[in-house]
Amino acid sequence: MSGFAINGIQKNLFGGGVAGLKNPSSPLDTIRHAYVRHYWRPEEGSEWLDIAVAFMLWLPGIIVLSIISTRRNASYARRHSGRAMPRQFLDQIVIGLTTGILPPWYYIFDLYKKDNRGSCLSYIGRGETKAGAYVVLTDVPRKHCILGNKDIFAAHCREFGLHAVEPVAIADDGHIMFSDTSLTRLPACDLFIKPARGSGGRGAERWRWQGKDMQGQDIYTGTTGRLAEVELRQRLAFRSNGRRTIIQRCLSNHPDIAQLAGHAVATVRMVTCLNEDGMPEITDAIFRMATRPDCIVDNIHAGGIGAPIDISCGQLGCASNLGVDATHGRLRHHPGTNHVIEGVRLPFWNDVRALACAAHATLTSYVIVGWDIALTTPGPVLIEGNSGPCLDIMQRMADRPLGDGRLAHLLAHHLLQGRQSSIPNARQQCHHDGAMTG
């Protein structure tokens, strides 16, 4: 059963402010109205089944989730807020029934704190975007969306002169195709491997170049141990059967953020949204960091942490994890290096802002994009774009709701305008799957 289904039942039947959904009077009402309309127009039988199961399980689901979340987090929350454990448990049930916020988000959004509880209706729910506004604002299938195809996205960036990470090669159906057709071997450097389609850092690998052995072969160490260049090439070719794979040179963090990043490349997640004039506007940003030396990605869902960024100057606030386990709290120092986080100013901030806006300007069929940008010694490098950025992590890191902010206003504007993206033209939005063949 989809979590969106339980959330949808609550929002549509039991959530607060139902009158506002029928007659939107605020940007967040407009977003929720779009969710309600989309929710009750299932396109497949499985979606109707999802709704039917949610009808039966929504109340037991809230109770079970409340028990699990309370057992995990209530002691920490009581120490830091004074809110007794039984009150926290009841809060989750009441808030779940009246607002549609599921129990885990009670701790993700720190709603056990009195100041935060009063603004719980202003948080934008995951379902309201990923199963609502985002769906309404675009009809580009993922298989046609260059933001969902990392190799095609790289070709797009090359075409428009955007400074983005370049693939060394693409492995597909047992073959390796080098970007530089004069190459026949993997380069003598650290390599980062990831699926062409994927998210959350799943399936990513890092291979460290260790120099040459006595026979003059390049040696790499990674997830399966020590491999010679030809062995690694064979492994990548074999694993690409049924899974198109990107092979890139590893990037290095700028020295100013090295103590915050560990061995993984730290990235800025910057959200841009088209404004009322159809121009990209930066609304929110966070800085993502790995926490353990063995981490190869900085993704929050992979155990990383993030800090809110003052978008005017690039200054970091206190960091946090995803918040499902609330015991980490808010972090002024990096848990792995003890280096200060709060108050750090990121390098090349104006260039980061310019790169995100320039990238979105080439993809105006997308109302909203979440950009991942690395900070390297030469300057910012675009890693990828996400057409459905998760706002949970943005609200968690900022410790405030986005429902009364600029992003909600812009999303509501486009929903009211009836903004509907069409399948993009071949040059600007879509390249065929063989666009990066070397």
Q: pLDDT of 265-301, one tens digit each?
A: 999 999 999 999 999 999 999 999 988 777 777 777 7
CA distance linking residue 210 with residue 221, whole number of Å: 7
What mean pLDDT is predicted for residues 136-151? 69
Identity of the residue numbered 272: T
Mark residue 178 as left, alpha or beta (left: phi above 0; alpha: psi -120 to 50; beta: remaining). Answer: beta
Positive or negative, the Cα torsion across 238, 239, 240, 242? positive
If residue 59 lies in a helix (H) or strand (E), which one and from where to where?
A: helix 45-81
3-class SS of residue 171: strand
What mean pLDDT is predicted for residues 72-76? 94
3-class SS of residue 313: coil
What mean pLDDT is predicted for residues 111-128? 90
At residue 255 the predicted structure's pLDDT band, cuts being 50, 70 and 90, is very high
CA distance linking residue 126 with residue 10, whole number of Å: 13
CB 244 within 8 A of CB 172: yes
Q: How does DSSP classify residue 320? A: B
At residue 55 the predicted structure's pLDDT band, cuts being 50, 70 and 90, is confident
Beta strand 191-195 with 267-274 is: unpaired
Give, in order, the Cα–Cα distances in Å from 192 to each of 79, 86, 289: 42, 48, 17
pLDDT at 200: 62
Tokens 């492995």 label which residue?
Answer: 171
Residue by residue, DSSP assigns 79-139 as HHH---HHHHHHHHHHHHHHH---HHHHHHTTTTSHHHHTTGGGSPPHHHIIIIIHHHH--
- Nearest Cα to Cα of residue 197 among 54, 417, 384, 413: 384
CA 172 to chain centre: 26
CA distance linking residue 303 with residue 294, whole number of Å: 11
pLDDT at 344: 96
pTM over 0.85: yes
pLDDT at 422: 36
CB 238 within 8 A of CB 227: no
CB 8 within 8 A of CB 52: no
Residue 180: pLDDT above 70? yes
3-class SS of residue 213: coil
What mean pLDDT is predicted for residues 220-229? 91
What mean pLDDT is predicted for residues 100-110? 92
- Nearest Cα to Cα of residue 150 among 70, 247, 238: 247
If residue 385 lies in a helix (H) or strand (E), which one and from where to where?
A: strand 380-386
pLDDT digits (tens, 9 = 90+) for 402-435: 999 999 999 999 999 875 443 333 333 333 333 3
Identity of the residue numbered 18: V
Residue 10: pLDDT above 90? no
CA distance linking residue 97 with residue 128, whole number of Å: 16
Buried b (16+ CB within 10 A) or exposed e, 75-90: ebbeeebebeeeebbe
Residue 43: pLDDT above 80? no
CB atoms within 10 A of CB 323: 23
Length of the chain, please?
Answer: 438
CB 162 within 8 A of CB 355: yes
CA 232 to chain centre: 30
pLDDT digits (tens, 9 = 90+) for 359-381: 999 999 899 999 999 999 999 99
Buried b (16+ CB within 10 A) or exposed e, 361-384: eebebbbbbbbbbbbbeeebbbbb
Residue 356: pLDDT above 50? yes
